[in-house]
Amino acid sequence: MDKSIKTLLRYEWTSFVRNKFQLFMLAVIMLFGVYAIYSGQSEINAQRKTIQAVTQIEQEEFSQYQASFDEELRSLEEEELHDIASRPSFAWFRHGYHAIIPPHDYAALAIGQRDLFRYYYRLTGMSLHYQLFENELANPVNLMVGNFDLSFVLVYLFPLLIIAFCYGLYSSEKENGTLALLQIQAVSIRRIILVRLVFYFAIITSLAMLISWLGLITSGPPFKTENLVPAMAWTAGVLAYFSFWFALMFLIASLRKSSSFNAITAIACWLLFLIVIPAILNVVVTTKYPLSSTALAGLTRRTGLEDENDEAEVREVIMEYLAHKPQLAGSDSLINDNMMAKGYAAFTSLKDINSQKLVDQYNEQVANRTSWTSRYHWLSPAVNMQEVLAQIAETDLHTFLRFQDALADFHGDITDFYFSRLFWNRPILLEDYHNRPVFQMTETSNRWSSVGLGLGKILLAAALTFFLGFYLFMIDV
Amino acid sequence: MQQLLIIIKKEIIIALREKLVLVLGGIMVLLLGIALYAGFLSYQQQQTIITQKQAEKREEWLHQGDKHPHIAAHYGTFVFKPKTVLSLFDFGLDAFTGTSIYLEAHHQHEFMFRPAQDHSSMIRFGELSATLVLKVLIPLLIIFLSFNAYTRERESGTLKLLISQGISFGTLSWGKILAYCTILTIILSPFLIGLLLFSWVGNPSQAMPDETLRLVLLTLAYGVYLFLFISFSVWVSLRSSTGRNALLILLSSWIFLTILMPKTVVNLSKSLYTLPSMREFKEAIEQGKVYGLDGKTPRSERIASLEKRLLEEYKVDSVHQLPFNFEGVKMQDGEEYTHKVYDHHFGKIKETFHRQNRLSSFASLINPFLSVQNLSMAFSGTDMYTFLHFEEQVETYRREMIRKMNNDMAENSKYGEFFEYAAGRDLWEELEDFSYQPPTVGELLQQYRLELASLFIWTALFLLLINYTNRKMKPLHG
């Protein structure tokens, strides 16, 4: 490091520690950061508790069923329970399985859409669409205002801090009358500004890193394999996003206007990236791809067969279903046994099959929306950053859409398990309980590539902004 | 008076010289235009679909064919949450409240489908609506316009000259404030006309009867809010030594009032008053239905005591001899008990909602942004109170539907019969179509007293503050 830079840094440090207001601002944002971590963690912990509770309910339910096998059945209730446990004609719609998407350790830092979507479902063999659309209880006001999590502090508040520190990057010298003194030095003014920029970058980014790592460490061990890459990506994201804002402040300073002008312009940019652009994109996408859930609502109606006593009708329904599922078909005499239960099972499954197209259309429109908006993410590094953080913490829309797909598969496993026994008139045995369907969700491969792409866009914006500022500083006014 | 007019005129001319402010003003007008148009478009799109679907569901109900009333009560019907015409102005909670509900016997379903679920996480940045521009962006424009109101005079030395002319600080301040008010009125007037036109076009069937009153109140609330921001900015400028300081203070206040505080208050309220999960909520209702609210009167016991009571009342010794179908009465009795259980548990949820939102009402006493936010949603019919009010009417309608079905079963079918009895279209028609009556403005004002008080108090405070400071200011400061 050459000597002039050392001197410059020393003076920056002196003026930094003397400015009580700046120190105060750093302390305030530190407090907000800690509060955000706490608030995010308490939200996610509440979700963890709910998950624990529902898992326990499921375990109790099934251990009751299993216990009913080896007990001497005495009371009527015990016999009823054993029927539910062993007879597929009861079991297929009584046995409840929970499909859960447990929060990633870092979901507490970027809650994303996790408060809006359901993260657990209880599924039985009944029509999937009966069970899919119920919401979690939530105060709509809270949903509207959104979460005070660490991603909010990083995406919204830190840029404001950067603006507050850097709006006088050049203009303060001019306004204090020290500019002329600097200009007669051997060091170029651009260099002085750059050193100052780097100095503030170091200070503010270190603070952000401190808060981020505080959050990362308290939310989950960062050196665990599944946390390491997210923790690194988080760090890289913060660096990229802050680079952009510092580059922007450098560009604004390069215009060599007054402090007030700089502050107004910087705030206007903040407003543009954090409020105006996303708000416009949201309202455009809502009107461009209109969606009405009213069509899906109809699927939740619990209709039954027209006349349950009409054997011909019941048989017809079963045959129609078996045409879709030939592997369940057996001889005619198999159908006659327990026909009502089969008829009802066939009926609700047919409903799913017939309404699948409607659901697919709806999901396709949602996909249209997200692919349209993601095309415009580059317009706002803030939107980009928010999305990247949500992706890192697995709280983005895409994760929940994958969850929906996994739910459908899981529901298929459940119906296969029970229907193969129901339609073949086989009881559920105690050992079958070891082969019960288990919910699984596969990891996607493209998660990190889209995180990388998002980061790339932010970095590119930062680089372009910086070089534009560098160029403007070169031109002598 | 003459002086005041001259000052107003001069301030307007000065403001118009600021290119940056002009550009920002232009952008605001443009944004308001886009917001209004998009709001109208989405209102129309949604309202068309909802009206059409609601009619469709009504037809389905009427043409469900002859069947047993209890099967009909299970077949049920749907209600879709209508868009209010003023949602084109303020979306409010619309993206986050459920939009459709299935009405059925035995089960109180909850509203499904929150529109925000069909968006990427970007939706959490908010949608562009006229309110967003008015309550967040325009205050910023005001700050840019007026942070220099006094500091410029002070920095260029004209303040001394002005005071030496015998102009009081009071006249000067009012001149500046009124000048900015005039500029804003001019900027906002096309928007106001547009809003009137759109809401007039969008409300042909008078679904919102007191729409005009609501519009007047909206205009008033926002008028007061923006006036507060103007006087605050001018006051800060008066008290600041340099423009840079004034700007810093104003920008920090803006961030605190419109971004930080609303979010913090809501988050705090969430951790102070926690909600149960849906699973726990439903489980509690199930338990209540099976074992009784007190946990000690199971369903069988309730039925037995109903049977005993009816047998005694009609002086017969078996339910077969009752002059009506006991099954129907039993069903209705069970239903009413379910209502009691549901009201008990949902009442607790509503209480939690109320407590959570109450915190922001109290906070609005400190922060007029919160008052105008809550009032604006209320007058637009997109607030929490209106949503719960709607939910309540839907539930009443559901109960009415079930009651009609059960009563018909009790009166017209025999004990022990089920598939033998079928009701028809006459009965289906007895249930009127659902139509929603939003709460009156009077009711809303009752609910939002704190917010109203906040606006009054702040206005009074600022009027006093400006006059008091003006008297205390010594011209030597310039």
Domain ranges of chain A: 3-474
pLDDT at position B470: 67
Give the C-alpha separation, B127 to A276, whole Å: 9
pLDDT at position B320: 74
Tell me, yes or no, if B129 comes closer than 8 A to chain A by beta carbon: yes
- Tell me if A141 and B360 make a contact (CB, 8 A cut-off): yes
pLDDT at position A33: 93
Contacts of A282 in chain B (CB under 8 A): 119, 122-123, 125-128
Tell me, yes or no, if B263 comes closer than 8 A to chain A by beta carbon: yes
Give the C-alpha separation, B438 to A285, whole Å: 29
Q: Give the tokens for residue B42.
A: 């989405």
- Tell me if A117 and B279 make a contact (CB, 8 A cut-off): no
The ipTM is 0.83
Touching A: B residues 410-469, CB under 8 Å: 419
The pLDDT of residue B204 is above 70: no
Contacts of B47 in chain A (CB under 8 A): none
pLDDT averaged over every residue in chain B:
84
Q: Which residue has the higher pLDDT, A7 or B471?
A: A7
pLDDT at position A270: 92
Q: How many domains does chain B have?
A: 1
Measure in Å the smallest separation between the Cα of A186 and chain B Cα atoms: 30
- Tell me if B119 and A397 make a contact (CB, 8 A cut-off): yes
Measure in Å the smallest separation between the Cα of A329 and chain B Cα atoms: 30
Q: Give the tokens for residue A102.
A: 């447990």
pLDDT at position A309: 67
- Tell me if B46 and A290 make a contact (CB, 8 A cut-off): yes
Contacts of B66 in chain A (CB under 8 A): none
Tell me, yes or no, if A133 comes closer than 8 A to chain B by beta carbon: yes
Contacts of A275 in chain B (CB under 8 A): 125-126, 132, 136-137
Size of interface A-B (CB pairs under 8 A): 252
Confidence of residue B478 (pLDDT cuts 50, 70, 90): very low
Least confident residue range of A117-121, B44-48, B87-91, B320-324? B320-324
Per-position pLDDT tens, chain A of length 477: 678 788 888 888 888 888 888 888 889 899 999 999 998 998 899 899 989 988 888 888 888 888 877 767 667 777 788 888 888 888 888 888 889 998 988 999 999 888 888 899 988 888 888 788 878 888 888 888 888 899 999 999 999 989 988 888 777 777 777 777 777 777 777 788 888 889 999 999 999 999 999 999 998 888 888 888 889 999 999 999 999 999 999 999 888 888 888 888 898 899 889 988 998 888 888 888 888 777 787 777 777 666 666 777 777 777 778 778 777 777 666 777 777 777 788 888 888 888 888 888 888 888 888 888 888 888 889 999 998 999 898 888 888 888 888 888 899 889 888 888 887 778 888 888 888 888 888 777 678 888 888 899 999 999 999 989 888 887 755
In three-state secondary structure terms, A260 is: helix
Cβ pair B82, B411 in contact under 8 A: no
- Tell me if A135 and B278 make a contact (CB, 8 A cut-off): yes
* Structural domain that includes position B407: 2-477
- Tell me if B116 and A160 make a contact (CB, 8 A cut-off): no
Locate tokens 């000597």: which residue?
Answer: A3
Contacts of A259 in chain B (CB under 8 A): 244
Cβ pair A407, A352 in contact under 8 A: no
Q: What is the pLDDT of residues B144-157, one digit of tens each?
A: 888 888 888 888 88
pLDDT at position B227: 93
Counts of helices then strands in chain B (DSSP H, E): 19, 2
Residue of B114, B122, B275 with shortest CB distance to A135: B114
The continuous run of DSSP H or E covering A263 comes out as helix A259-271
In three-state secondary structure terms, B86 is: helix
Locate tokens 């043409």: which residue?
Answer: B63
Residue B77, strand partner residues: B103
The continuous run of DSSP H or E covering A362 comes out as helix A339-375
The pLDDT of residue B475 is above 60: no
Cβ pair B179, B13 in contact under 8 A: no
Residue of A116, A137, A286 with shortest CB distance to B42: A286
| Amino acid letter, A241 | Y
Q: C-alpha distances in angstroms, A409 versus A419, A460, B47? A: 15, 40, 35
Measure in Å the smallest separation between the Cα of B148 and chain A Cα atoms: 10
pLDDT averaged over every residue in chain A:
84
Measure in Å the smallest separation between the Cα of A71 and chain B Cα atoms: 25
pLDDT at position A331: 66
pLDDT at position B476: 46
Contacts of B384 in chain A (CB under 8 A): 139-141
Q: Which residue has the higher pLDDT, A399 or B412?
A: A399
Q: Which contacts qualify for A4-8: CB closer than 8 Å, 24 or more apart?
A: A4/A186, A4/A187, A4/A191, A5/A195, A8/A187, A8/A192, A8/A195, A8/A196
Cβ pair B234, B147 in contact under 8 A: no
- Tell me if A284 and B38 make a contact (CB, 8 A cut-off): yes
Locate tokens 């560098």: which residue?
Answer: A470
Q: What is the pLDDT of residues A31-57, one digit of tens each?
A: 999 999 998 998 899 899 989 988 888
The continuous run of DSSP H or E covering A97 comes out as strand A97-100
Cβ pair B77, B100 in contact under 8 A: no
Measure in Å the smallest separation between the Cα of A331 and chain B Cα atoms: 30
The pLDDT of residue B12 is above 80: yes
DSSP string, B411-478: HHS-TT-STT--B-HHHHHHSPPP---PPPHHHHHHHTHHHHHHHHHHHHHHHHHHHHHHHH--GGG-
- Tell me if B277 and A53 make a contact (CB, 8 A cut-off): yes
Nearest one of A105, A99, A337, A331 to A215, comparing CA atoms: A105
- Tell me if A284 and B42 make a contact (CB, 8 A cut-off): no
- Tell me if B42 and A267 make a contact (CB, 8 A cut-off): no
φ, ψ dihedrals at A123, nearest 5° = -115, 140
Confidence of residue B206 (pLDDT cuts 50, 70, 90): low
Touching A: B residues 10-49, CB under 8 Å: 20, 24, 31, 34-35, 38-39, 41-42, 45-46, 49
Contacts of B78 in chain A (CB under 8 A): 297-298, 301
Touching A: B residues 185-244, CB under 8 Å: 243-244
Confidence of residue B224 (pLDDT cuts 50, 70, 90): very high
Tell me, yes or no, if A272 comes closer than 8 A to chain B by beta carbon: no
Nearest one of A402, A403, A395, A401 to A107, comparing CA atoms: A395
First to last CA, chain B: 24
The distance from CA B153 to its chain's CA centroid, rounded to whole angstroms, is 43
- Tell me if B100 and A294 make a contact (CB, 8 A cut-off): yes
User: Over the range B323-341, which residues count as b (16 or more CB within 10 Å of their CB) and which as e?
Assistant: ebbbbbbbbbbbbebbeeb
Residue of A300, A302, A397 with shortest CB distance to B120: A397
Q: Give the tokens for residue B98.
A: 């459920």
- Tell me if A275 and B126 make a contact (CB, 8 A cut-off): yes
DSSP code of residue A117:
S
- Tell me if B244 and A303 make a contact (CB, 8 A cut-off): no
HEC string for B1-67: CHHHHHHHHHHHHHHHHCHHHHHHHHHHHHHHHHHHHHHHHHHHHHHHHHHHHHHHHHHHHHCCCCE
